[in-house]
Amino acid sequence: MIVYFAGTRYDGRAGTDRHVTDALSALAPVLFVDPPSSALTRLLHPEVADTRREPELRAVHANLWRLSPRVLPGAERPGMHHLTWALMRRRVRRAAAELGQAITGVIVTVPGDLLGTAPGARTLYYATDDLVAGAELLGLPRRRLEAAEADHLARADAVAVVSPVLRDRFAGLGRDAAFVPNGCAPAAFADLDAAPWPADLPRFDRPVAGFVGNINGRIDLDMLDGVADAGHPLVLVGKHQDTCDPDRFARLTGRPDVHWVGHKAFAELPSYLRVLDVGLTPYAPDGFNRASFPLKTLEYLAAGRGVVATGLPATAWLREDPEGAALIRSAADAEAFVKAAEEELATPRTPGLQDRRRRFAERHAWERRARSLIDILGVAQ
């Protein structure tokens, strides 16, 4: 069994952790380990689903189990976090015993002392974000994140990263890392145009641009404002977080042609992507974002929609493929972003163009990423 220590909850927004473990479970038994929670978690974070009435360990589907470790309050306090990781290691070993599974591989994505969970198992540090660069946004101590990263790079049997920037940074620290970018789930959007029209959106009389994802400090609001200023309908699908300027966001969503529908489950996304003609990836070009690989760019293409994305290294990598360069418009600043969005909105969405977008996305399916991780981890399938 492969143990996957996730930075996000399985029932949260469907991101890298959930998608890659779903794909991994088609190849090997997988235990998905949620971030730890305590009796205070619901008080401090009311948006987190309450799992106290559910078993800590339960089956998700064939070959995939979920463990939601319960720990003592104050899990992230100085000194206390060491006890938290020790409790998690012990709880995972107990869960494997309850399932009758031998742990052959451990994948760690979080800054915790978890690589030694199962002595003798192969270990992989899978960097899905540059946590050190994002310390302020994440609200975590930078020194602790730096120490955890150094420990992971020194101790893990193998290292994988989602972006060229992380690969190059780790190389500068003396550790080679395999590049395993984020992927997409093309099958989830196969019948997109047959999905029901969302009840909370009107029918539009002209092409629509949209953004799907968390609306936080990573997003460049100048780009979204610019698209709205140009007079195009704009649909926003995702939770607003306080790190995105609340006043500016309120002004943006107060416009008559801007429609914010809040968070939607992954299963609901086909209906909302059906509405869009162009998907937007307006990430601010800071250090945290430059090391990221936004899922939404490939998800828009899997839905057969046009894409306008900030010129992040991940965007540049996708555009190194001639087909990617033809299908993804890239922009370096707000002015160029709005111009690219207008050009893409003016491009007719023909069946042939939709098929090209979907075929390109299929080459980046999560199943391929999962096979790469299995190979890098070096465990038998």
| pLDDT at residue number 230 | 95
| pLDDT at residue number 137 | 74
Amino acid making up residue 80: M
Per-residue pLDDT reduced to its tens digit, 192-216: 989 999 999 999 999 999 999 999 9
The CATH number for 2-183+366-377, chosen from 3.30.1460.30, 1.10.10.350, 3.40.50.11010, 3.40.50.2300, is 3.40.50.11010
Q: How far apart are CA 283 and CA 267, in angstroms?
A: 24
Rg for the chain, CA atoms, rounded: 21
Q: How far apart are CA 220 and CA 332, in angstroms?
A: 11
- Asked if 108 and 156 count as a contact pair (C-beta separation under 8 A), the reply is yes
| pLDDT at residue number 36 | 87
| pLDDT at residue number 146 | 92
Measured in whole angstroms, the distance separating CA 353 from the mean position of its chain's CA atoms is 26
Residue 282, SS3 per DSSP: coil
Which ranges of the chain have pLDDT less than 50?
Answer: 43-45, 47
Domain residue ranges in the chain: 2-183+366-377, 186-362
Alpha-carbon distances, residue 114 vs 11, 23, 24, 83, 86 (angstroms): 22, 22, 20, 12, 8
- Asked if 195 and 306 count as a contact pair (C-beta separation under 8 A), the reply is no
pTM: 0.90
DSSP 8-state symbol, 268: G
Angle at 173 between CA 167 and CA 176, to 5 degrees: 45
| pLDDT at residue number 380 | 67
Which stretches does DSSP call E strand in the chain? 2-5, 30-33, 57-61, 64-67, 105-108, 122-127, 158-161, 178-179, 209-212, 234-237, 258-260, 278-281, 306-310, 328-331
Token digits for 107? 């994948």
The CATH number for 186-362, chosen from 3.30.70.360, 3.50.30.10, 2.40.400.10, 3.40.50.2000, is 3.40.50.2000
Q: How far apart are CA 370 and CA 377, in angstroms?
A: 10
Which stretches does DSSP call E strand in 55-133? 57-61, 64-67, 105-108, 122-127
Dmax (CA) of the chain = 61
Domains 2-183+366-377 and 186-362 share a fold: yes
Angle at 271 between CA 224 and CA 20, to 5 degrees: 85
Q: What is the DSSP string of 142-165?
A: HHHHHHHHHHHHHH-SEEEESSHH
Nearest to 176 by CA among 381, 379, 376: 376
Amino acid making up residue 255: R
Alpha-carbon distances, residue 253 vs 261, 306, 364 (angstroms): 10, 23, 33
Average model confidence (pLDDT) for the chain?
91
